[in-house]
Amino acid sequence: MKVIRTIAEVKAAAVAARAAGQRIGWVGTSGALHDGHLSLVRHAAADNELVLMFWTGEMAFSWTQKSNPSYPRDHARDLAMAEGAGVDVLYIPDGAEIYPQPPVTRVTTPSLHRDGLTDPEHLDVVSLFMTKFLNIIGGCSCYMGEKDWQQLVMMRQLSIDLSLPVDRFVVSPTVRDPDGVPLSSRNIKLTPEHRRAAAIVPRSLEAAAKAVADGERDAAKVREVIVAAVEPVAPVVYAKVLSETLQDVTVLQGPIRLMACADFGGVEILDNLGVTV
C-alpha cells in the first residue's frame, strides 16, 4: 500500500491508473476504522484494479468544528487494517493544503435537510469536502454504506446536480454487531450498560418494518411504533418515516426509509432500515 500526502500525488496516482486502463474504487473515512469501513474496501477491491482511500483523521480547521475529530484515531492501526483489506493507495490530506484559508464557497442541499436529522451545517461541510475530494480524484466509483443514509442521498444528488466525476455510487449494507447495532466509530464511547441498551434502536426499526409488513400504511402510526419501543430505554433524538429520497410521506407506498436515533449517555446511536410497500 502506498501512502501519499499531497494533492499532486493523489492526482498523479489517479491519472496514471486511468491511463493504464484501471478502474478506481474510492472509499472515504475520517478514521477509527472498523469492519464497516473494511467491507467497503473489500467491495471496491473486488470491482476495481485500484482502491484509493481518503483518510481524513488528521484534518482539523479553526473555521468549523463540524469536521474535526471527536473520537480518538489510531493512525498505525488504521493503516494496517486498510492495507489488509485491499487499499492500494491511501491519501492522508493535509488540512493546510486542502484549505489554507477559510473557504468562501458553500455547497448546500437544503431540500435534503430534515428537522432532527444531521445538523445542516455539518451536512454542508461534508458536501463541500466531498465535492472537492471527488473533483481531485476524477472518474471513479464511490463506495458508501447504508448507515449514513442522509449523506448517501445527498452525495448522489450532488453528483447529478454538479456533474461530479463519479461513474457510479456503490452502496453496501450496514455492517452490524450480533445484536443488530450498526458498527460505528462512536460506539467506543459507550459504557457497557449503554452499549447493551443501544440494541433497542435496530429493534425499534424491525418492529416498525413488521407493522408495515402487517399492513400499516399510515406513516405517523409507523413512527409511533419506533418511539414506543425506544422511549422506555433512552431519549429519542429522532424517529422518521420518509421516502427513500428523504421526502415527507403520509401514506406509505414504494421505497420507504425508517430512521431512528437515540441518546445513550451523550452518545447518539443512529440507524435506518429500508422497506418497500
CA atoms of 169 and 66, how far apart (whole Å) = 24
Q: At what angle do helices 120-137 and 149-162 cross, to 10 degrees?
A: 50
End-to-end CA distance of the chain: 45
Nearest to 32 by CA among 150, 173, 189: 189
How many CB atoms sit inside 10 A of residue 225's CB? 22
Cβ atoms of 4 and 82 closer than 8 Å: no
Catalytic residue among 37, 43, 75, 194: 37
Cβ atoms of 86 and 45 closer than 8 Å: yes
How many CB atoms sit inside 10 A of residue 209's CB? 17
Sheet with 255-264, edge to edge strand ranges: 236-243, 255-264, 267-276
How many CB atoms sit inside 10 A of residue 182's CB? 22
Phi, psi of 20, deg, nearest 5: -90, 5
Alpha helices in 6-119 (DSSP H): 7-19, 35-47, 75-85, 95-98
Whether residue 37 lies in the annotated active site: yes
DSSP-derived pairing of the beta strands 2-4 and 89-91: parallel
- Looking at the annotation, which residues are catalytic? 37
